Every structure is written in C-alpha cells, then in structure tokens.
Amino acid sequence: MNTNEILETINMIDNEDLDVRTITMGISLLDCVDPDIEKASGKIYDKICRYAQNLVKTGEDITRQYGIPIINKRIAVTPIAMISGACPAYSPVHFAKVLDRAAKQVGVNFIGGYSALVQKGFGPGDYALLESIPEALAETEFVCSSVNVGSTKAGINMDAVEKMGRIVKETAELTAHRECIGAAKLVVFCNAPEDNPFMAGAFHGPGEPDCVINVGVSGPGVVRAAIKKSGGGCDLTEIAELIKRTAFKITRMGQLVAKEASRRLCVPFGIVDLSLAPTPAVGDSVAYILEGMGLSRCGAHGTTAALALLNDAVKKGGVMASSSVGGLSGAFIPVTEDAGMIEAARSGCLTLNKLEAMTAVCSVGLDMICIPGDVTPEIISGIIADEAAIGMVNSKTTAVRVIPAIGKKAGEELDFGGLLGGGPVMPVNTASPAEFIHRGGKIPAPLQSLKN
C-alpha cells in the first residue's frame, strides 16, 4: 500500500471536505394504498419504520469503519399523490404528517416524496396534492415535496406550471416567519429522475424496486484543491483530465459506502449519484472550482463554458468508478448553499439570467435562489416554464427551487442555517408573462431529430 495515497485520502477528508453527502433509502408505498385513510397511514408509518429502523445507525457505523463522514441519512418514498388518490375525501396533508412522524421516529433529517408526476396531465389525487403543498410544508419539519411538470417525451403541462407559481409563493408565505423555509423544500422538475438521492427532489419512482439504497457523493473541495495544486500552467484539456481522475476517486468511495450499506441493511444497491454538491463551508464550493479555472468571479462571461467542462468531466470520471450510476449526476449550482455563489450573487456578478444559462449545462437547474417577496405568481410560473423548456428540449433534468423572500427586497438576505445556507435576494425581471401563463394547456413534446 502506498503511503502517499493513504495520506492523500486522509487529507481529502480532513482538509478538503470530502464526504458522502447522503445515503437515501427508497421505499415503495404502493402496497400501502387503502381507501381507509387510517389504515393507509398505519401501513405507511409501519413500513417506513420497519425498513429504515437501522438506516441511521448503519450510516454511523460505516462512517466509523472507513473514516468517511456520511452527512445525511434520508428516505424517499413513492409519490404521495399515488397513495392519497385512493382517499379523495381527505386532505393529503394527513399523509405529510405521517411521513414527518416516521422520519422523526427513525432519525433521518429529510423524507422526500410528497410529490406528484403531472407532466402529461393530472391523475386522481394530483390536484389535491398540489393544492395541499403549502400547508403540508408549513406543518411538517422533515417532509420535502417535488412536482414534475414536464418531460422530453410528454412536453410541458402548462396548467401545472401556472399552479406551481402560485403554490411556491403560498408555501413561502405560510412559512414567512421561518425565513420562508417551506419554499426551500419544494422543487418543480422537468425530466425528474426516479432514483435521485438528493433533497428536496428525491422520490421513489414507480419503476423502482420495493426498497433500494442510493448514495449521493460530494466533493467540490477536493476538485478545487486538485485544480489549485496543478497551478496556472495547465491547459483546459489537462484540467478536464484532472477533474476526471478526482471524480473517479470520489465516486469509488461512494460506491464502497453504497455497497457496504446495501450489504448491512440487506437492501439492494440502486445507484451512485455522481454529484458535486456544495455546502456553505468555505472551500466546499462549485463556484470556487470555476474561479480556480481562471474566472475572476463566478458569473463572468466564460462561466457557462467552464461549468460545461466541469459537469462533463465529473460524469466521465465517475461512470467508470461505479457499477451503476443514476440520479442527477453532475455539478449542482445551489446559490445559497455555495459560499462562492453567495459572494458572486452579493456582488451582482452572478445574476438570475446567467444562472439560467448555466442550468443548460449543469446537472439540475435554478436551485436555492432567493427572489423578492413581491414577485407575482405568474413571474414564478414564467421562471418555471423557461427552466422546464431548457430541460425538455435538451433531454436533461432541470428544476426550479426559488424562495420568495416575503417582505424582503433585492439585496436583503435570507438565512436558513445548516446545509441550506443563506444568501442575498436576487433581482428578478418584473415584466409580466401573465397572459402567456394563464393560457394554460400544454407545450407539445419537442422533435427529437433535426437538432440545431
């Protein structure tokens, strides 16, 4: 065994914030459907508690065995609209409370799946679930919600987009006394992956097995340090190689943890999500990687190109390191969770428009962005529609998680604390798209040939 390699690993963990971001257990609730809401709730609570009872302890044991911090242990469940549709007389908020209680009982820090998949239209339960999201997120602590409004194969459901603009705003309003945190737990997707382990967008897709372990890796700090060490002499081909090599190592660690967790919990291993997920810790920032490549500040012209290089190299390095890759896989750009992005946004260099362009080449979308509280629901719907269009046309996942800062204006700040961080309220173009949004209907699925 090579001493330098051993010390390299230890340095990555001790000084460069290398960690496994999350072990997420996906649990199917399809067998808990029952027209009697009390019975359905009982089955859901029991199943989650039974399957996940050792999840947190197993994560802690693996941390101590390998010396790798595993930051989060989480649960993703079948989209609740599929379950609540069987109990049309009751509010789906009831199920949110059951999920919250189960999450608290097993000790996980988030439970995802208060979700609906409405890209092609609304099924039983979907309307009620969408309308209940603000109340559900205001009255629970651990529940995360997501709604898929579009896909490359189905097009964009603009009726859902219209609703979601209003629902995002109402969610923020109902939690205005808690820094509008409800909106930070709500994601609107296009092309949502069914095996994503990262919150707030995790849910257990209907095509998944009964129970599965998915792992999300992290490590922006490690990539940044590798680029810094390489000095200024490298050209971008060499930088891409360097990122690939680093991503390989990070992912191998994730694969090891995933396999070990799967073995200990006797649950099949699903996927490793090869993501560079930043944290507010200084150094653990995707923006700093881009700046390390030579941009004076994240948001400068050239940022989209640098991010495209980073995103692609992370995937190429990671794919070979894991037997099964999935989820969101790529570089995340959540503004309030990334020290470099926060600085760039405060200085005005990083704008919403630039972020939108960046989402065309990164792994997710407009993520953790605080917008002024007086922004109209139609403008939020417009933001969602733009983002969904980028995802739909480019056959990629895109998402919107914006937080309307109720009572605040551009330049003021929100502070969520913990992994969600905090950051400046960013100005938004206030020209109204209301007429377009209120037309409703669908944007048809795009042609998959004649690509220009």
Partner 1 sequence: MIKTEKAVITVIGKDMVGILAKVSAMCAEKGMNVLEVTQSILQDMFVMVMLVDITGSSSAISELADEFDTLGESLHLKIHIMHEDIFNSMHKI
Contact positions vs partner 1 (CB under 8 A)? 1-3, 5-10, 14, 61, 64-68, 249, 252-253, 255-256
Q: Are 346 and 378 in contact (CB under 8 A)?
A: no
Minimum separation from the CB atom of position 244 to partner 1 (A): 13
Minimum separation from the CB atom of position 1 to partner 1 (A): 6
Q: Please compute Rg for the chain using Cα positions.
A: 21
Q: Which is nearer to partner 1, 11 or 353 (CB)?
A: 11
Minimum separation from the CB atom of position 444 to partner 1 (A): 46
Number of helical H runs and strand E runs in the chain:
15, 15
Minimum separation from the CB atom of position 226 to partner 1 (A): 14
Q: Which is nearer to partner 1, 60 or 238 (CB)?
A: 60
Cβ contacts of 45 within 8 Å, gap of 6 or more: 98, 101, 102, 105
Minimum separation from the CB atom of position 311 to partner 1 (A): 22
Farthest CA pair distance, the chain: 67
Minimum separation from the CB atom of position 60 to partner 1 (A): 8
Q: Which is nearer to partner 1, 1 or 450 (CB)?
A: 1
Minimum separation from the CB atom of position 15 to partner 1 (A): 11
Cβ contacts of 126 within 8 Å, gap of 6 or more: 81, 85, 116, 118
Burial class of residue 215 in the structure, from the number of CB atoms within 10 Å of its CB (0-12 exposed, 13-18 middle, 19+ buried): buried
Q: Which is nearer to partner 1, 260 or 291 (CB)?
A: 260
Q: Which is nearer to partner 1, 10 or 30 (CB)?
A: 10
Q: Which two tokens stand for residue 187?
A: 């994601």
Helix %, strand %, coil % of the chain (to 5): 45, 20, 35
Q: Which is nearer to partner 1, 65 or 105 (CB)?
A: 65
Distances (CA, A) of 186 to 134, 374, 444: 9, 19, 25
Cβ contacts of 405 within 8 Å, gap of 6 or more: 172, 180, 370, 371, 372, 373, 412, 414, 425
> Which residue type is seen at 173?
E
How far does Cα 13 stand from its chain's mean position? Answer: 23
Q: Are 345 and 396 in contact (CB under 8 A)?
A: no
Q: Which is nearer to partner 1, 201 or 318 (CB)?
A: 318
Minimum separation from the CB atom of position 68 to partner 1 (A): 7
Q: Which is nearer to partner 1, 65 or 353 (CB)?
A: 65
